[in-house]
Amino acid sequence: MLIAGLDPSLHPTPPVPATAGSLLHFPEIRSRFLEQPHDVIVCLPPGYHEEPERRYPVLYLHDGQNVFDDLPLSPFGVQWGVDTTARALVHARVIEPLIIVAVGNAGRDRIDEFTPTRDNMHDAGGLADRYGQMLVYEIKPWVDHSWRTRRTARDTAVAGSSLGGLLSLHLGLTHPAI
């Protein structure tokens, strides 16, 4: 699959899930902005295949290996169960259906990629802008091309906890139009 300006080997063609709400796992997505590859997991909302004209908002979550409960145990010991919570909130009509994209961290490079400034004392940090470039110029265009998304900034969100929260705040401030 060729996406304008992107290397197709970096962005595989997504499979069609057996059921909506299935987790689609794309291991080791490479970026031209960061050294380490990142796993990406996409969760389509219930009803996705029954409404072929409908478009969906997208939530991007950092530390993606923590997000869904039917993947191997998170390295931080707690899985967020976001898919289960999102389905319950959609069913209760608290939120509208959405596509959830979980971007895994690069392990030992997590502090580097999730912090906007360099900490010379600990020789770490400062690559949040590069992570943002990966998300804005590679992951988001791939997701928008592959699934029926609403592409405006109003329909796109980022979230995370701890350093993922810091990264989300930084990305919101540096890329408000995205």
Q: Which domains does the chain have, with CATH numbers?
A: 23-174 (3.40.50.1820)
| Per-residue model confidence (pLDDT) at position 72 | 53
Reply yes or no on whether the pLDDT at 125 is more than 90.
no
Q: What is the dihedral of CA 148, 150, 156, 159, to 10 degrees?
A: -30
Q: Which pLDDT tens digit goes with each residue over 129-176?
A: 999 999 999 999 999 999 999 999 999 999 998 899 999 999 999 999
| Per-residue model confidence (pLDDT) at position 39 | 92
Per-residue DSSP letter, 136: I
Q: How many CB atoms lie within 10 A of CB 152?
A: 10
Alpha-carbon gap, residue 141 to 145, rounded angstroms: 6
Alpha-carbon gap, residue 14 to 1, rounded angstroms: 9
Going across the sheet that includes 58-62, the strands are 23-29, 38-43, 99-103, 58-62, 156-159
| Per-residue model confidence (pLDDT) at position 64 | 83
Q: Which pLDDT tens digit goes with each residue over 47-103?
A: 899 999 999 999 999 988 888 854 454 556 677 888 888 989 999 999 999 999 999
Q: Which residue has the higher pLDDT, 123 or 9?
A: 123
| Per-residue model confidence (pLDDT) at position 69 | 59
Alpha-carbon gap, residue 164 to 40, rounded angstroms: 15
Q: Which pLDDT tens digit goes with each residue over 15-33?
A: 544 444 578 999 999 999 9
User: Taking Cα atoms as reference points, which of 73, 143, 144 lies closest to residue 103?
Assistant: 143
User: Which of 8-12, 34-38, 78-82 ranks highest by mean pLDDT?
Assistant: 34-38
Alpha-carbon gap, residue 68 to 149, rounded angstroms: 20
| Per-residue model confidence (pLDDT) at position 17 | 46
| Per-residue model confidence (pLDDT) at position 109 | 80
| Per-residue model confidence (pLDDT) at position 12 | 54
